[in-house]
Structure 1
Amino acid sequence: MIYSVIRTSVCALFFVVVSFTANAELADTLAKIKPSVVGIGVHTPTGRPQNSLNGTGFVIGNGQYVVTNHHVLPKELDVNLLQKLAVFIGSGKSATVRKASLVGMSAKYDLAILKIEGAPLPAMKLADKAFVREASHVAFTGFPIGAVLGLYPVTHRGIIASITPTIVPVENAEKINIAMLKRLRDPYLVYQLDATAYPGNSGSALYDVDTGEVIGVINKVFVQQTKEAVITNPSGITYAIPVKYLYELLEKHNVKW
């Protein structure tokens, strides 16, 4: 009985120490990468409100390039309203707006590269092109439900649950379109996570908890029922594009990382 109690106590103490160490490591990493996390949206000088937040991005390279998802970008800008693609820096009411231009994008991999005006920002470091192992500890920081909650960065942590082909399930055959059939013929591998992302997290950097190196880009979360139900009924299935596909886009447009 005494041995059992001692063993249980030692195990509990070991768990607490490991958990504390892991949290401390993530806190240190977060402090390092947080200045590189930005919001992506549209600035309308004559609008009310003037700024709309569509998703998240992160700074790379020389501090003037930002990576996000292709689907986060506006489909078009209203020239009559003087709308501009915008990158939001900082958080809360102290956030500032930088105009941005599109450098390159990939609809296939749901990636886009922007270039911002003004002084360089702190940049995140990209991991190498190799896939990380399943069960690796990861985190992502972004602006979930940013249009409602505002520009306040939120961090989620988890593990790489699986490395799986990028195939989106459909309810029935009637919803299969030509684009889906093309992807089914040539699927590429993505990371499936056990951490839950939300609309607004799209474009967030998926990074290694210990090093802060970017290993992927959050791009998709399956939501039960409707987008409006995402807060009360999140699916818990989140996907990220591996950084190896980002390298392809960077090389294509001669962007140094």
Structure 2
Amino acid sequence: MTHSRRRPYAALYDFIDEEIDMGHLKDRPHRRRWETVVLAAGFVGGTAWQAAAAQPLVGLPDFTPIIQHYGAAVVNISSTSTKTVHGALPTDPVPPNSPFYPFFRRFFSGPNTAPSQKEKVESLGSGFIISHSGYIVTAAHVVRGASHIVVGLSNHHVYKAKIVGLSVRYDTALLKIKGHDLPTVPLGNSNQLQVGQWLLAVGAPFGFYNTVTQGVVSAINRPLSDDEYIPFIQSDVPINPGNSGGPLFNMEGQVVGINDQIYTSNGGYMGLSFSIPINTAMRAVHAFEHHQAIRFGWLGVDVQGVSSEMARAMRLKEPVGALIASLAHDGPAAKAGLKPGDVIMTYDNKPVYSVGQLPPLVGNTSPGTRVPVGIMRNGHPLTIDVRIGTLPKNLRHPGSHNVTLSRMHMEVGPLTHEALSDMDIHHGVVVLTVEPGPAENAGIAPGMVIQELNGVAITSPSQIAHLVANLPAHTPIPVLVRRGKESAYVVVTLP
């Protein structure tokens, strides 16, 4: 045997040679059996050695340097606010915590009703320090309406904080504490995120401070109906109550997002987490720092989704885009020549696959910018330049005009942000009037909120009008309605 062949297993061959010298392997069959064992060991060992030497395609990340360098800049936020609690009647037939209480209470209201009371509400969240002098970024819903805010650092130092600025549309808030030489986090560029990249979240889920969780980017530019101006980062990073406002790090140790919300059916993490891109959040933060109002871009259109039937009617190859239902008089789109029935396919050379993608694209455009808008009109492509306007104050939600649902014999209208907050819901339309017909037969009454129709979350009157128009006749349809703080399903059968 050659030297090169013996080298990896020299000890084994030396043992065989010793056995031969001692006369234990004199006969040929025994010697051949030992050589077979050695050759087999060489084959298996060589394969294992080659596999160990090969470089893996994907290396497992080590997150410890991120925490060691920037973990101290993540803070815990405790806020206190007050809410009004309506008193119960001494003779109420059901207790206030019963799901039937809101429905029975209106029949038993009277002079003996207990007076409303103020109740303190405490909430926990997270945040991160962006300046050595004590500026902190968090989610707006963590501190909105708070009368007392306390920030705790990882070194157990506690500070009182004040709100410098808060944006509901961006769900971003800037706080200030009196400190100096504080640890900070570096900020990244969320526009460079790609699906599949590793992420690290730090926060206080359920009050467990300085908890670290990891995952990957699941999707980018994800629209959500509750926050139309935020192109969310979707990930599978475990996020739970208390994580809100905390940082989302990339592998360079840069903050690329603010942990904001989850989709859940039971209040716990189910694999769908959503974070505000840091580029979006910092647009608000920079305005707060300079004491400026945030100006949102405005196109001046009411849009709806494109169904398969609508796509065929509009001579579209696919059911994509945002269909213009109406335009604001003298709005930017109307002035540029856009018309009802046009389907917006691209905005500023970016594709618009669904109606939810358009609001964040428009809202994040600086007013006064000229933007090419690609549309389909009567089956023909067309590009029109639009000078984007400034979103007017107190402008109602796109598609927020009252709508009469003739098939249900009722009228619905939009919900204000305040009403949504008071009822602790994120979407829905309010029932304004009900005439004898399918809705009344199902028990739907004025003042109720329709949250869901046939399994679809309701976000605007124009959306529910589109859904109702396309529902099958003489078929039971489930409708999720809400009165006060309780929700229940009813069944509507349409003619």
State if a TM-score over 0.5 links the two structures. Answer: yes
1:89 corresponds, among 142, 145, 153, to 153
Partner of 1:174: none
Structure 1 CA distance, aligned partners of 2:262 and 2:129?
A: 22
The answer on 1:254 being equivalent to 2:295 is no
Shift of 1:166: 2.5
Shift of 1:42: 3.1
Shift of 1:18: 2.9
Partner of 1:158: 215
Partner of 2:199: 138
Deviations along 1:31-88, one digit per CA (max 9) or x if unpaired, are 00111010011379xxxxxxx55100000023410010011115242xxxxxx31111
Shift of 1:161: 1.0
- Equivalent residues in 2 for 1:146-185 (5 A)? 146=207, 149=208, 152-168=209-225, 180=226
Conserved in 2, the CA contact under 8 Å of 1:140 and 1:204?
yes
Partner of 2:130: 60
Structure 1 CA distance, aligned partners of 2:125 and 2:49?
A: 45
1:107 corresponds, among 153, 163, 168, to 168
2:79 corresponds, among 39, 42, 50, to 42
Structure 2 CA distance, aligned partners of 1:188 and 1:164?
A: 8
* Higher RCO (CA < 8 A, seq sep 6+): 1
Structure 1 CA distance, aligned partners of 2:217 and 2:77?
A: 26
Summarize the Cα distance change of 1:166–1:12 in structure 2 as closer, same or farther, 3 Å threshold.
Answer: farther
Partner of 1:177: none
Partner of 1:116: 177
1:238 corresponds, among 241, 259, 273, to 273
Partner of 1:173: none
Q: Which runs of 5+ in 2 are unaligned?
A: 1-39, 82-121, 291-495
| Equivalent position SS for 2:161 | strand
Letter in 2 for 1:245: T
1:192 corresponds, among 234, 239, 258, to 234
Structure 1 CA distance, aligned partners of 2:182 and 2:172?
A: 20
Summarize the Cα distance change of 1:167–1:101 in structure 2 as closer, same or farther, 3 Å threshold.
Answer: same
Partner of 1:221: 262
Shift of 1:254: 2.7
Shift of 1:250: 2.1
| Equivalent position SS for 1:223 | coil
Q: Which runs of 5+ in 1 are unaligned?
A: 45-51, 78-83, 169-179
Conserved in 2, the CA contact under 8 Å of 1:63 and 1:122?
no
Conserved in 2, the CA contact under 8 Å of 1:65 and 1:116?
yes
Q: Which moved more, 1:64-73 or 1:159-168?
A: 159-168
Summarize the Cα distance change of 1:12–1:239 in structure 2 as closer, same or farther, 3 Å threshold.
Answer: farther
Conserved in 2, the CA contact under 8 Å of 1:54 and 1:73?
no
Greater C-alpha radius of gyration: 2
Conserved in 2, the CA contact under 8 Å of 1:165 and 1:187?
no
| Equivalent position SS for 1:248 | helix
Letter in 2 for 1:253: F
Structure 2 CA distance, aligned partners of 1:72 and 1:87?
A: 12
Structure 1 CA distance, aligned partners of 2:190 and 2:237?
A: 22
Structure 1 CA distance, aligned partners of 2:57 and 2:223?
A: 37
The answer on 1:71 being equivalent to 2:132 is no
**TM-score (norm: length of structure 1):** 0.72
Conserved in 1, the CA contact under 8 Å of 2:173 and 2:285?
no
**TM-score (norm: length of structure 2):** 0.39
